[in-house]
A and B are shown apart, each in its own frame.
Chain A
Amino acid sequence: MAKVRGTGFAAVNYPTGMHLGGDPTQSLIHMTPAGDFVCTMASVDLGQGLRTVLAQIAAETLGVPYESIVVETADTDTGPHCTGTFASRTTHRAGNAVVMAAAEARKAMLEVAGELLEASPEDLETDGAGNIHIKGVAEKSVSVGEVAGAAHFGYGKTIAGRGAYLKPPSPMDPETGECDPDSTQAHACTVVEVEVDTETGVVEVIDMKSVYEVGQQVNPDLVKGQIVGGSWMGIGHALYETTAPGYPAIDPAPVDFQNYLQPGAAEMPEVACEVLEYPAESGPYGGKGVGEMVTNGPIPAIVNAINNALDVRITQIPVTPEVVLRALDEKRAQAEG
Chain B
Amino acid sequence: MSMKELGVVGRNVGQRDLESHARGQTTYYEDVHYPRMLHLKMHRSAEPHANIVKVDTRKAAASPGVVCVLTHEDLPGKKVWNGLAAVGVGPEDEPVLAFDKVRWRGEPIVAVIAETPEAARAGAAKVEVEYDPLPGVFDVEEAISGSAPALTAHWPHNHYIYPDDHAASQIRFGDVEKGFAEADHIVEDKYQTSPIEQAPMETNGCIAKPGGDGRITVHTNTQAVHFARDNTAAILGLAPGKLRFLGGTVGGGFGGKVDVAVEPISVLAAMRTGRPVKFKYTREEEMQVSSTRSAWRLYIKDGVMNDGRIVARKITSYQDSGAYLRFSSYGSMKHAGHMPGPYTMPNVWVDARVVFTNRPPSSAMRGFGVMAASFAIELQMDKVAKTIGMDPWQLRLLNAYRNGDMRAHRKVNEDAAMVETIQAAARLAGHELPAEYQAMTSWDRKAS
Contact = CB atoms under 8 A, between A and B. Distances in A.
B320 to A, nearest CB: 7
A286 interface: yes
A154 interface: no
Given A248-B320, A288-B415, 9 more contacts: A8-B382, A13-B338, A73-B248, A172-B333, A189-B425, A243-B194, A295-B366, A300-B374, A307-B382
Interface stretch (A79-87, A109-117, A160-168): A79-87
A334 interface: no
Interface string B418-446: 10111011001101000000000000000
19 contacts: A9-B393, A52-B14, A75-B244, A75-B247, A84-B258, A172-B169, A174-B162, A177-B172, A184-B414, A191-B429, A209-B429, A211-B424, A243-B195, A243-B287, A256-B284, A274-B428, A300-B378, A300-B379, A315-B189
B164 A188 contact: no
Interface residues of B, number: 120
A44 interface: yes
Given A175-B172, A276-B421, A187 B416 contact: yes
Given A9-B429, A83-B227, A243-B287, A185 B416 contact: yes
B108 interface: no
Contacts of B374: 10, 12, 296-297, 299-300
B229 A76 contact: yes
Chain A contact residues, majority secondary structure:
loop
A217 B8 CA distance: 11
A190 to B, nearest CB: 7
Contacts of A303: 375, 379
Given A9-B392, A216-B1, A281-B415, A243 B420 contact: no
Question: Residue among A9, A230, A278, A313 with the most chain B CB within 10 A?
Answer: A9
Contact of B224 (A85, A209, A218, A285): A85
B409 A56 contact: no
A276 B383 CA distance: 28
B211 to A, nearest CB: 11
B283 A315 contact: no
A35 B297 CA distance: 56
B295 to A, nearest CB: 6
Contacts of A79: 225
Interface stretch (A15-23, A139-147, A196-204, A324-332): A15-23
B163 interface: yes
Contacts of A308: 382
A219 B11 contact: yes
Interface in B387-416: 392-393, 396, 400-401, 408-411, 413-416
Contacts of B354: none
A209 B338 CA distance: 24
